[in-house]
A and B are shown apart, each in its own frame.
Chain A
Amino acid sequence: MKLAVLQKWMQAVVVHPGTTEQALRSSAANRLLSSSDLQKVLLPSPTLSPAERIAVYQEMYPLRMYDALAVDYPGLEHFLGERFREFVAAYTTAHPSKGYTLNRLGDHVPAFLKRQRRFSPRPFLVDLARLELALTQSFDESEADPLPAADFEAIPPGRLAKTRLLTVPSVRLLSLDWNAGAYLDSLRDENHRHPKITKDRSFIVVFRRNYSIFRLSLSPSAYPVLEDIVAGQLLGRVVSRALARRGSKRASPDDFTRWFRQWTSEGIFAGVKKTA
């Protein structure tokens, strides 16, 4: 058997989500090697048949995928309980690892949950997954020194409008419709007092300072301001847009000093970019 064919066949068996018997008989495996010819490719040992021997690999594959996804999605794992295993099989069939690291395996989880119907309540699970993915991404981003408050305060008032603020790379902004944040917090409750899953609009910035991850709640008016800053808008435009918004998203002139002071002290900004 040629090396390329052997590897395609063995992979088809190893990643199959069913039993080893089903894997060996699957169309992906069978078109490369008939299951009745297994003993022509794999030798038995004194204690294991060829099928039992390849089962060692086939049984380890889902465990490895489970462990990798559980590290990045502890909230999802806890919420789904026994069904997390089923989720892992469905997800890794749709989005198998294609990279050299398992750290990126879960990148498509929010999008996958959004388009499936097996796991519910779907909108809550999507929000929970978006939050957990943001935490993972923030963890892995490159480090940057935060902007000292004095540097921000040193910008002449006349130049503020033509200034852009750079945020630290670990910043992730989230607008959630369900109480995913409260659920994630409740994982630390050893008595398992989890909140009732409910619709609850919230705005969050996730960021890292001194290698620790933080989550900060934002008001409906502060969120679009930080969103504009992250998008690289000039501060003059950020402010004018904020003042022109309607309803709860509208900022008042007094808000800006308070927000910028807080965000600077939290270490959300990395630098100032002045334009000519």
Chain B
Amino acid sequence: MNPKPKGNRFGFKDLGIGIGLRTVHYAHILARAPKIDWFEILAENYLDTGGRPAYVLDQVAERYPVALHGVSMSIGSTDPLNREHLKKLKALADRTKAHWVSDHLCWTGVLGRNTHDLLPMPYTEEALTHTVKRAKQVSEILERPLVLENPSSYVEFAHSTMPEWTFLARLAEEANCGLLLDVNNVYVSSFNHRFDPIEYIDAIPADRVVQYHLAGHTHKGTHIIDTHSDHAVDEVWNLYAHSVKRTGRVATLYEWDEDVPAFDVVLKEARKADRFRRALPS
């Protein structure tokens, strides 16, 4: 029996159920102002544009709560932090009154390059010390706690000395980070690396989880790829149901990035989370 969850330690609000703001839905959102609790913004798409994306973002941020989600912080990289990027991220967060700013536990490039992929970390003491130091620096620059998402991954490093969930929990504690728990990523990696996803979720400090991600994936038989291209499978919903019993109601977001269907289809999929949230004691 899980004790009654007390909410996250940062005081971040449960924003309810949201979806990622995507270009294909701009016209629908502006014309219909659909009933949805919040939007997640892919930060890098809005950092350097003053055109229509910026206009739409300002309209959305005026009507709905938003959170920023980045893909280029490269928190685990051995390259120096990109301070220009972080300053722009902070300015965007301030402008949109974002509830929080998240990125991924990963690295995206070294030697000045960006592969624009979320590349996996080895789970070693060296990598942990390095990432903790950088996460603290980022929180200082952003002037808010950094929220980090667990990645999906396709390789395991032979010299890792701890499982991903231990690395993530220690990182969150030592750098005082919030966590964005992507349940689909847990499932994808659990298949690819053959670990127990329940063990993973139970090891995550519940009071640090400020947001959930849910998504669909592509099963290749030999491995699963995190494509955000479909409905979530039952196993992922079951993991979500298990996890919310530990964390309580936490802002939940559905990601759909490939072959994105109509807005209402994505929203309907996101709303499936209601069933599990309603089952929790108030």
Q: Which residues in A have some Cβ–Cβ distance to B below 8 Å?
A: 1-4, 6-8, 10-11, 14-15, 39-43, 45-48, 50, 52-54, 56-57, 60-61, 64, 68, 96-104, 139-143, 169-170, 208, 211
Q: Which of B7-15, B138-146, B149-157 contacts A (4 or more CB under 8 A)?
A: B149-157
Question: CA of A99 to CA of B85 in the docked complex: distance in angstroms?
Answer: 9
Q: Is B78 an interface residue (CB 8 A)?
A: yes
Within 8 A of A (CB), among B8-64: 44-45, 47-52, 54-55
Supposing A42-B158, A45-B192, A169-B50 touch, asked if A98 and B114 sit within 8 A by C-beta, the answer is yes
CB atoms of B154 and A56 under 8 A apart: yes
Q: CB < 8 Å: which of A4, A15, A139 contacts B51? A: A139
Hey, which chain B residues are within 8 Å of A48, CB to CB?
Answer: 222-223
Q: CB < 8 Å: which of B44, B51, B55, B124 contacts A3? A: B124
Q: Which residues in B have some Cβ–Cβ distance to A below 8 Å?
A: 44-45, 47-52, 54-55, 72, 76-78, 82, 85, 107, 109-117, 119, 122, 124, 126-127, 130, 154-159, 192-194, 221-223, 225
Hey, which chain B residues are within 8 Å of A211, CB to CB?
Answer: 51-52, 55
9 further A-B pairs in the complex, CB-CB below 8 A; given A45-B194, A99-B114: A3-B78, A6-B122, A41-B158, A43-B155, A56-B154, A57-B117, A140-B48, A142-B51, A208-B51
30 A-B pairs whose Cβ atoms sit less than 8 Å apart in the complex: A1-B159, A3-B122, A3-B130, A4-B110, A7-B78, A10-B119, A11-B113, A11-B115, A14-B119, A39-B158, A41-B157, A42-B155, A43-B158, A45-B193, A48-B222, A53-B155, A53-B156, A61-B115, A64-B117, A96-B113, A96-B114, A97-B114, A97-B115, A99-B114, A100-B44, A100-B47, A101-B44, A101-B47, A101-B72, A139-B49
Question: CA of A60 to CA of B155 in the docked complex: distance in angstroms?
Answer: 14
CB atoms of A101 and B113 under 8 A apart: no
CB atoms of B116 and A102 under 8 A apart: yes
CB atoms of A8 and B116 under 8 A apart: no
Question: CA of A101 to CA of B72 in the docked complex: distance in angstroms?
Answer: 8
Q: CB < 8 Å: which of B82, B111, B117, B157 contacts A61? A: B117
Hey, which chain A residues are within 8 Å of B154, CB to CB?
Answer: 53-54, 56-57
Question: CA of A61 to CA of B77 in the docked complex: distance in angstroms?
Answer: 18
A44 nearest CB neighbor, chain B only = B156
Q: CB < 8 Å: which of B48, B110, B117 contacts A7? A: B110
Supposing A14-B119, A45-B193 touch, asked if A143 and B112 sit within 8 A by C-beta, the answer is no
CB atoms of B194 and A46 under 8 A apart: yes
CB atoms of A40 and B107 under 8 A apart: no
Question: CA of A99 to CA of B45 in the docked complex: distance in angstroms?
Answer: 12
Question: CA of A45 to CA of B223 in the docked complex: distance in angstroms?
Answer: 9
Question: CA of A122 to CA of B155 in the docked complex: distance in angstroms?
Answer: 42
Tell me the total A-B contact number using a CB cutoff of 8 A. 129
- Closest approach, in angstroms, between the C-beta of A38 and any C-beta of chain B? 10
Question: CA of A2 to CA of B193 in the docked complex: distance in angstroms?
Answer: 22
A102 nearest CB neighbor, chain B only = B116
CB atoms of A14 and B117 under 8 A apart: yes
Question: CA of A170 to CA of B154 in the docked complex: distance in angstroms?
Answer: 42
Question: CA of A118 to CA of B254 in the docked complex: distance in angstroms?
Answer: 44
B127 nearest CB neighbor, chain A only = A3
CB atoms of B111 and A141 under 8 A apart: no
CB atoms of A98 and B159 under 8 A apart: no
Supposing A14-B115, A97-B114 touch, asked if A41 and B85 sit within 8 A by C-beta, the answer is no
CB atoms of A3 and B126 under 8 A apart: yes
A53 nearest CB neighbor, chain B only = B155
B223 nearest CB neighbor, chain A only = A48
A97 nearest CB neighbor, chain B only = B114
CB atoms of A100 and B114 under 8 A apart: yes
Hey, which chain A residues are within 8 Å of B130, CB to CB?
Answer: 3
